[in-house]
Structure 1
Amino acid sequence: MESQRTFLFIGLLLVSFLLFQEWNNDYNPQQQAVQSASTQVKDATQSTGDTFIPSSSDSSVPGQIQRPSQSYISVTTDVLKVKLDTKGGDIVEADLIQYPEKQHGDVPFMLLGEFTGNQYFSQSGLIGIDGPDASQQGRPVYSAEQQSYTLANDELRIPLTYVSDAGIEFVKTYVFKKGDYAVDVEYTINNKSANPATVQLFTQVKRTIQAKGSMVDQSYLGFAYGAFEKPYEKYSFSDIEDKNLSIDTQGGYISFIQHYFVSAWVPKQDEQNTIYSRKLSDNSAMMGIKGPLTTIEAGQQQQLASTYYMGPKDQEALKALHDDLHLTVDYGILWFISQPLFALLKWLYALLGNWGLAIISITIIVKTFLYPLTKAQYTSMAKMRNLQPKIMALKEKHGEDKQKFGQAMMEMYRKEKVNPMGGCFPLLLQMPIFLALFYVFLESVELRHAEFGLWIMDLSAKDPYYILPILFGASMFLTQKLQPMTVTDPMQQKMMTYMPVIFSVFFLWFPSGLVLYWLVSNLISIAQMLIIYRGMEKKGIKVRG
């Protein structure tokens, strides 16, 4: 029993180490260099490399057209600052005004753009026989009425116009809305030629390939898509390098996911689309989605449209765009636990107005909910301790006959109505709650730069003075001292003694919100333990000493 409990603690230690590895990966210098690049390089006049246009007939073989120097149109709303490239009409830079790069800073977080050799662009266009993006002369250069636009009302429409040699007028209109990170892209094709025109809408995201700094895939950096039979499927850089994706589906979406933020193309859901991917020669990768071929008769006009989201992982906003897009807030295999916990956490925040207080409150609720398991755990441990003299007597009686000793011990457990796994199993059941909350704290953009008070100014970052990890270690040490189970093996005794120290060291780099949860959880456990032990001692069950 003691060995099993020790191994369980080792398992929890291993999980914590892996989580620490991934948290460190989220903030490793390589990723920081990309996420902080807007303070280092924000020169939109630099070349943005090659533009890759998918073929209408084969999505796995994109065309490649060299880009000349570009001119840009700047767009400012209350939440976005965007640059549009007149060549192709692509979104080549996007800053999130309400999300500063550094807490209390003035520089907005750059989501899309070109930074220190890395590229992240949103691209869209029309291919097909008469599509302007399929022309051998290169992508179309659109004209606009202004070089700068600012949202003044609830909606801002920016029309970009191009007329082909055949006389077909293409108007690519970006529709920005107040307080919205979703931008509608509308193509109006006015066929003024004498012949039918066939076009096909494509939308895609291009991103420089980045090597992952950890073996564990917690905070995902890469592509994901949703198809009719696959609501959420990751497709990493390595997946794209191994195989080009080509999936026919009704509706669907494609996205690129990073810590706290996401960009995604959502086409019309009543159309038959093709999702594709491609590794490119400039060490970048892309994922896109093509709509069906559309024919516009001579003298007729037709509109094609898609929606592009570029912003925080706001689950409500994402779900409003697509039923499955909120799954890009990736809670992993424990999503079914994390999602209700997140909903509860948001409700508590709305009630209390402080994310730290919300974390403390959800800890109290979770520990209260788990109290029956906690009581079963400590009761079983106390009963097992009382049986230690009888177990030692059985050892002396049966000597080296392990079979008889095992049979006698199981018979004793049966008579005493004690489950040897009773102390481990409740603890094991509580571990998924801890892991699910870790995902909630890691993935929830609401906790980014969220202040608690006192010295904790960012619950998504580590404790700057390491006070919470030290207090956590002290609470874990006190918990060990209060527990009735004692370990007799010298090696296990040393391991248990140093466990609080090891955990404290790991927790030094954990987000302070998670450490706050675990510290409060330990303090509540200590209080529950004392209450349970007092009740057992009143019944004559020896607990300590």
Structure 2
Amino acid sequence: MESLRSFLVIALALVSFLLWQQWQVDYGPKPVVATQATPATQTTTTSADLQLSGAVPTTPAAAVTTASAVQLVEVKTDVLTVKINTQGGDIVGLELPGFTVSQENPSSYQLMRQLNGFEYVAQSGLLGDGPDDKKAPRQTYQVAQTSYQLANGQAELVVPFTLQHNGLLIEKRFIFTAGKYDVRVEYSVTNQGDGSKVVQPYYHFAQTIDNGEGSNMMMPVYRGGAYSTAEQRYEKFSFEDMADANLSLSTKGGWVSMLEHYFVAAWVPQAEDTNQLYSLVSGNLGVIGAQGPQSSIAVGETKTFNAVFYAGPKDQDNLKLLANGLDLTVDYGILWFISQPLFWFLQFIHGIVGNWGIAIIAITLLVKGALFPLTKVQYESMAKMRNLKPKIDELQARFKDDRQKMGPAMMELYRKEKVNPMGGCLPMLIQLPIFLALYWVFVESVELRQAPFMLWITDLSVQDPYYVLPVLYGISMFIMQKLTPMTVTDPMQAKIMLWMPVAFSVFFLWFPSGLVLYWVVSNLVSLGQMLYIYRGMEKKGLYVREAK
């Protein structure tokens, strides 16, 4: 192959371009979604859909402001600050004290809120004979106090809301645990009426679709839904999907969630129940949720319904314990089977060295060391191709007017000299998936969010503020280009390769600094390996350095 290096560089450029496209799809600003309700929402006639539409207030924000008795109850733990509306017992505000908005803004990260025309709330309730079945303002719960705090040394905090409705005594309990982002939400329902009652629990998220926040955040973010069923462990369901068609799936167990880059909010209903997963667009709100099965409560009987509410970072270890597939909200894409071991290995190294930047350098050295046998094959193959360049030039001159004969002649030359023109491709093909897998590790892993390295690199999850690493990458690529045996004869290809270091440096300006750090170190290691291999071949007379 005359232009093996061109092939490899173009392959890397193509993969990088695809990465950039996928970045824009997942994290770039989203197009505005039509805010009208979908036709399916407007024309539903089944009882289940009517119950669902009754469970979703048309304008939840307005419902909060119209009832004079409504109060917000604030609950503080060591990891959560939650605001619960007594109307419906909805979670209308949630902050994460352990995470700041950015390094420049030390305010606690607000995951849920009703503020400045944007709404993101977690609602739950009881359909059927429960208080949430009618298209009317949601019922207001009674609560003993408006402020609760988990004390130091206290393991658990229970916040009870009570309501009497339609002969039912309902206690809605929020159970917080020290150090945990998951909250147990329980309904204890006692039938005090004169006949049996039927109730059906539901849990969902409602979030403003067109919020305009994507381009204003420190880093572009992806917002959208996701769900899991017994058959499908993890499936994204964007606001665009919600606008196109309502989700309607029956599954045993399952869960629903809203994703926000490094953070996730999820409802996990009872795993032993057959739950109905649903979505809809109501006004400018995207809704995704789960309904439990209907349950009959006899006179004097008490029944309990519960679900787990999670709101916090995408911590894979914790999410895996809460529900099957919930850890996949840390979306490593199609190469998750490579990304997950790499992340665990990176996490292990970090536990030893205590610095994510040093951990990235260490894993780069280990990966490059493990791939050295393949790298040796690659460089030796490229060197042999360089040695054949005079003979290749001779064949090209002889058959310049007959390309049909030149092809077989070239293949005969490779066979005679025992050179495989594709011998340098295999190591690159193996390294590219690792590069892609590490890309998603650096983009998706909350552990790298605002993680400092040293000097000017104070956040490995965002671009280098002074572009030092992209420039170093370009310099290292240029030096590698000069040391690499060249077989390119076409002047245009030669010019393209000459400008490739500049092009890649510009391209990497917007990449997370952790990823660029990995690639810079990888290039430096490759330079050392290249010099070692070529000097060894020179001593054996297998490689002749190109004349200057």
TM-score exceeds 0.5 = yes
Partner Cα distance (1:529, 1:471) in 2:
18
- Structure 1 gap segments, 5+ residues each: 32-51
- Whether the aligned pair in 1 keeps the contact of 2:3 and 2:487 (CA below 8 Å) is no
The residue that corresponds to 2:34 in the other structure is: none
Partner Cα distance (2:47, 2:449) in 1:
42
Pair 1:384–1:60, CA change in 2 (3 A): farther
Matched, 1:288 2:289: yes
DSSP-derived class of the 1:257 partner: strand
The residue that corresponds to 2:209 in the other structure is: 209
Partner Cα distance (1:7, 1:219) in 2:
34
Partner Cα distance (1:135, 1:405) in 2:
81
State the AA in 2 paired with 1:415. Answer: K
The residue that corresponds to 1:120 in the other structure is: 120
The residue that corresponds to 1:412 in the other structure is: 413
The residue that corresponds to 1:401 in the other structure is: 402
Note the C-alpha offset of 1:427: 1.3
- Whether the aligned pair in 2 keeps the contact of 1:447 and 1:459 (CA below 8 Å) is yes
The residue that corresponds to 1:247 in the other structure is: 249
Partner Cα distance (1:92, 1:59) in 2:
24
Pair 1:299–1:213, CA change in 2 (3 A): closer
Q: Map 1:176-325 to 2 at 5 A.
A: 176-210=176-210, 220-281=222-283, 283-325=284-326
State the AA in 2 paired with 1:289. Answer: A
The residue that corresponds to 1:492 in the other structure is: 493
DSSP-derived class of the 2:48 partner: coil
C-alpha deviations, 1:303-330, integer Å up to 9, x for none? 0000011000000110010121000000
State the AA in 2 paired with 1:243. Answer: A
Partner Cα distance (2:358, 2:397) in 1:
54
Partner Cα distance (1:390, 1:59) in 2:
79
- Whether the aligned pair in 2 keeps the contact of 1:100 and 1:107 (CA below 8 Å) is yes
- Whether the aligned pair in 1 keeps the contact of 2:5 and 2:486 (CA below 8 Å) is no
Partner Cα distance (2:433, 2:213) in 1:
25
Note the C-alpha offset of 1:23: 5.4
State the AA in 2 paired with 1:170. Answer: I
DSSP-derived class of the 2:110 partner: strand
Partner Cα distance (2:148, 2:13) in 1:
54
- Whether the aligned pair in 2 keeps the contact of 1:469 and 1:507 (CA below 8 Å) is yes
State the AA in 1 paired with 2:185. Answer: V
DSSP-derived class of the 2:113 partner: strand
Q: TM-score, normalised by structure 2?
A: 0.90
Partner Cα distance (1:59, 1:473) in 2:
60
State the AA in 1 paired with 2:254. Answer: G
Note the C-alpha offset of 1:237: 1.2
Note the C-alpha offset of 1:289: 0.3
- Whether the aligned pair in 2 keeps the contact of 1:223 and 1:235 (CA below 8 Å) is yes
Q: Map 1:38-187 to 2 at 5 A.
A: 57-58=48-49, 62-63=53-54, 65=57, 67-69=63-65, 70-103=70-103, 105-128=105-128, 130-152=129-151, 153-164=154-165, 166-187=166-187
C-alpha deviations, 1:228-270, integer Å up to 9, x for none? 1000111111111111110000000001112101111101111
State the AA in 2 paired with 1:57. Answer: A
Partner Cα distance (1:333, 1:220) in 2:
18
Note the C-alpha offset of 1:99: 0.3
State the AA in 2 paired with 1:540. Answer: G
Note the C-alpha offset of 1:138: 3.0
- Whether the aligned pair in 1 keeps the contact of 2:51 and 2:127 (CA below 8 Å) is no
Partner Cα distance (1:299, 1:79) in 2:
39
Pair 1:142–1:430, CA change in 2 (3 A): same
- Whether the aligned pair in 2 keeps the contact of 1:17 and 1:506 (CA below 8 Å) is no
Partner Cα distance (1:190, 1:60) in 2:
21
Partner Cα distance (2:22, 2:405) in 1:
47
Partner Cα distance (1:347, 1:14) in 2:
32
Pair 1:381–1:446, CA change in 2 (3 A): same
Partner Cα distance (2:326, 2:45) in 1:
24
- Whether the aligned pair in 1 keeps the contact of 2:270 and 2:306 (CA below 8 Å) is yes
Identity percentage over the alignment?
53
Note the C-alpha offset of 1:410: 0.9
How many matched pairs? Answer: 518
DSSP-derived class of the 1:440 partner: helix
Note the C-alpha offset of 1:347: 0.2
C-alpha deviations, 1:485-522, integer Å up to 9, x for none? 24221111111111111111111221111111000000
DSSP-derived class of the 1:134 partner: coil
- Whether the aligned pair in 1 keeps the contact of 2:214 and 2:221 (CA below 8 Å) is no
DSSP-derived class of the 1:391 partner: helix
Partner Cα distance (1:237, 1:24) in 2:
16
Pair 1:317–1:206, CA change in 2 (3 A): same
Pair 1:151–1:416, CA change in 2 (3 A): same
Note the C-alpha offset of 1:455: 1.5
Matched, 1:463 2:464: yes
